[in-house]
Amino acid sequence: MSEPAQPSHRRPGPRSAEWFARAAKTIPGGVNSPVRAFNGVGGTPAFIDHARGAYIYDVDGNEYVDYVGSFGPMILGHADPAVVEAVQKQAAKGLSFGAPTGLETELAELVCSMVDSIESVRMVNSGTEAAMTALRLARGHTGRNKVIKFAGNYHGHVDALLVNAGSGALTLGIPGSPGVPEAVVADTLVATYNDLDSVAEAFKAHGDDIACIMVEPVAGNMNCVPPVPGFLEGLRDLCDQYGALLVFDEVMTGFRVHPGCAQAHFGVRPDVTALGKIVGGGMPVGAVGGPRDVMETLAPTGPVYQAGTLSGHPLGMAAGIATLSQLRDGSVHKAIAPQLDKLLAGLNERAQKHGIGFLTQRVGAMFGMFFTDAEQVSRFDDVAACDTEAFGRFFHTMLDNGVYLAPSAFEAAFISHAHDDTAIERTLDAADIAFATLAHP
Ligand SMILES: *Cc1c(COP(=O)(O)O)cnc(C)c1O
């Protein structure tokens, strides 16, 4: 590029801006989840009209190659025909009954058949609810109170876990949140991700009262940070040594990094798994699973109360079944891997060409982009040290050139089965312009 494009903010267009202004009058900040407001990158969010395959379309008619995938669920691509048909068929039979359906058992059977550590599973309505239930279950089952979590890991907006959380909470710089009383987080111990010593210290000090470790097996809410070799294995050993439960929050990694979830990818077996995102195929579904004896601590078999008017919702179950049944044999993940190889090789090549300090990390079908000269990012401090301002400018030039990334340097990126060569070439053409713009502002 002899004349690099200025960030023109051509996209999103006037209709999105009108909707955003109108939304802000009746919705706090105009959005129903904070990161959507573009506070991390500046500008006005695109309002979406529809999406298909690898592409998302805003109300101004702009087409974007999408790497948000609804923040993770859309591994098959948008509007997958089998998923849409399953939901439409079920909707015609009635939306919700407040009584059991066979669909719940079908999805439970699929989850149990795909995830080795899960023999029994309770459906809920979101990843937040799954994490909340997993924590209550671990406390109820062990009769202990304390939980170890990691700075930069996000487990939804559960009060007790909203301490040093990732994702939107990081973007906004909220270390916890007003509205969360100190007493509620008094039993939350915060350790350092990828630092076993910090966990061992917590056990040494409080081992008798630690109910569980809650961990993202790949940290996906501080960009994409894989566990260093031995980290997850070490957590397993510490839990066994002290009689605590190991809870994997696989809301993001579940069925994304491997058909058997991150636990299959890394070969470490948790006691309890929280699921969300892909398990609902784009509908609001979460799930908690584990061995039968642990799961039967939940009501009605056990004393730990948990319930939900819309839990196991027929439309969510239908979408989840139609999604997981396509992922089960591993062919989707196998097809995605070389596409992500091409994308990341192409991004790195173009960054290098323009002399931009840039690093990618990936596990399965999730990846991260870091503006840094470092060769590896494995701790939260490394992520925080990356150039978020460069990310913001990269983000906007990509958006202007038809590529939709998550509007925050702390979010992971997601590729789908629908990202074909055309989508990837378009992404790399946009990236060439975006890196050039960074090199010659
Ligand atoms: C997205 C996410 C959650 C929260 O799920 P919601 O459906 O947004 O409530 C919890 N844990 C992890 C690891 C997540 O990525």
Quick: pLDDT tens for 111-160: 999 999 999 999 999 999 999 999 999 999 999 999 999 999 999 999 99
- Domain holding 266, by residue range, is 81-327
For residue 435, report the distance from its CA to the centre of ligand 1, in Å. 31
pLDDT of residue 390: 97
- Nearest residue to 96 (alpha-carbon basis) of 282, 285, 310, 286: 310
Quick one: pLDDT band at residue 10, thresholds 50, 70, 90?
low
CB 248 within 8 A of CB 265: no
Q: Is pLDDT above 70 for 7?
A: no
Q: Which of 440, 236, 432 is nearest to 347 (CA)?
A: 432
Residue 59 located in a structural domain: yes
Q: How many helices (H) and strands (E) does the chain have?
A: 14, 14
| Peptide bond before residue 12 is cis, with ω within 30 degrees of 0 | yes
> For residue 183, what pLDDT is reported?
86
Q: What does the block give as tokens for 5?
A: 């494009």
Q: 327, 354, 371 — which closes off a domain? A: 327
Does the CB atom of residue 131 touch ligand 1 within 6 A? yes
Residue 8 lies in a domain: no
Q: What is the DSSP letter of 317?
A: H
Residue 139 neighbours by CB under 8 Å, 6+ apart: 145, 147, 211, 212
Q: 313 with 359, same domain?
A: no
DSSP state of 278: G
Give exposure, 260-289, as e/b (b: 16+ Cβ within 10 Å).
Answer: bbbbbbbebebbbbbbbbbbbbbbbbbbbb
β-bridge mates for residue 212, sequence order: 147, 245
Instruction: Mark whether 167 and 198 lie in a shared domain.
Output: yes
Tokens for 66? 């999408």
For residues 56 and 5, the answer to whether their CB atoms sit within 8 Å is no
252 lines ligand 1 (CB under 6 A): yes
CA–CA separation, 376 and 150 (whole Å): 19
pLDDT given for residue 166 in this prediction = 61
Q: Is residue 5 scored above 70 in pLDDT?
A: no
Range 307-333 average pLDDT: 98
Q: Is residue 1 part of a domain?
A: no
Nearest ligand 1 atom, CA 249: 13
Catalytic residue at 249?
A: yes
* Distance of alpha carbon 439 from alpha carbon 30, whole angstroms: 34
| Ligand 1 center–CA 10 separation, angstroms | 32
Question: How confident is the model at residue 169, as a pLDDT?
Answer: 53
Size of the chain, expressed as the number of residues it contains: 441
CATH at 258: 3.40.640.10
In the listed set 327, 344, 364, which residue is the last one of a domain according to the structure? 327
> Both 360 and 429 in a single domain?
yes
Determine phi and psi for 335, rounding to 5 degrees.
Answer: -75, -30
pLDDT at 93: 98
The phi and psi torsions of 181 (rounded to 5 degrees) equal -65, 150
Q: What is the pLDDT of residues 358-389, one digit of tens each?
A: 999 999 999 999 999 999 999 999 999 999 99
**Do 219 and 90 reside in the same domain of the chain?**
yes
Q: What CATH number did the domain enclosing 49 receive?
A: 3.90.1150.10
* CA trace torsion 84, 85, 90, 95 (10° rounding): 30
What is the band of 6 on the pLDDT scale with cuts at 50, 70, 90? very low
241 in a domain, yes or no? yes
- Total structural domains in the chain? 2
φ/ψ of 288, rounded to 5, equals -125, 130
Among the listed residues 249, 382, 400, 432, the single catalytic one is 249
Q: Which region holds residue 165: left if phi is over 0, alpha if psi is between -120 and 50, else beta?
A: beta
Q: Which pLDDT value is given to residue 177?
A: 84
Q: What is the mean pLDDT of residues 293-301?
A: 97
Q: What percent of the chain has pLDDT over 90?
A: 91
> Measured from the CB, is residue 248 less than 6 Å from ligand 1?
no
Nearest CA to ligand 1 atom 11: 155
Instruction: Say if residue 296 is in the same domain as residue 417.
Output: no
Provide mean pLDDT across the span 428-439.
98
In sequence order, what are the beta bridge partners of 219?
A: 225
Quick one: which atom of ligand 1 is closest to the CA of 126?
Answer: 7
CA 87 – ligand 1 centroid, Å: 23
> Is pLDDT at 331 greater than 60 in this prediction?
yes
> Does position 264 have pLDDT exceeding 80, yes or no?
yes
| 349 or 173, higher pLDDT | 349
Shared domain for 288 and 373, answered yes or no, is no
Beta carbon of 165 within 6 Å of any ligand 1 atom: no
Do the beta carbons of residue 400 and residue 13 sit within 8 Å? no
Looking at the structure, tell me whether residues 315 and 430 fall in a common domain. no
The pLDDT, as a whole number, for residue 259 is 98
| Average pLDDT of the chain, as a whole number | 94
User: Measured from the CB, is residue 70 less than 6 Å from ligand 1?
Assistant: no
Residue-wise pLDDT for 67-105, tens only, equals: 999 999 999 999 999 999 999 999 999 999 999 999 999
The reply to whether 7 falls in a domain is no
pLDDT of residue 322 exceeding 50 = yes
Residues 61 and 186 in one domain: no
Is 93 a known active-site residue? no
| CA–CA gap between residue 7 and residue 284 (Å, rounded) | 35
Cis ω for the linkage preceding 226 (within 30 of 0): no
Q: What is the mean pLDDT of residues 244-260?
A: 98
Q: Which of 33, 155, 167, 255 to mutate to test the pocket of ligand 1 (most atoms within 8 A of CB)?
A: 155
Q: Are residues 227 and 367 in the same domain?
A: no
Task: Tell me how far apart the alpha carbons of residues 389 and 384 are, in angstroms, rounded to a whole number.
Answer: 12
Given 276, 310, 327, which residue is the final one in a domain? 327
- State which ligand 1 atom lies nearest to the alpha carbon of 284: 7
Q: Is residue 2 part of a domain?
A: no
For residues 283 and 415, state if they share a domain. Answer: no
The verdict on whether 154 is a catalytic residue reads: yes
Instruction: Report if pTM > 0.75.
Output: yes
Specify whether 358 is located in the same domain as 224: no
Distance CA 99, CA 343 (A): 46
pLDDT of residue 178: 87
C-beta of 251 in contact with ligand 1 (< 6 A): yes
| Judgement on whether residues 337 and 301 belong to the same structural domain of the protein | no
Residue 1 has pLDDT above 90, yes or no: no
Beta sheet of 413-414, edge-to-edge order: 359-363, 366-370, 413-414
| Phi, psi for 129 (deg, rounded to 5) | -65, -35
* pLDDT tens per residue, range 159-187: 999 887 765 554 444 447 889 888 888 89
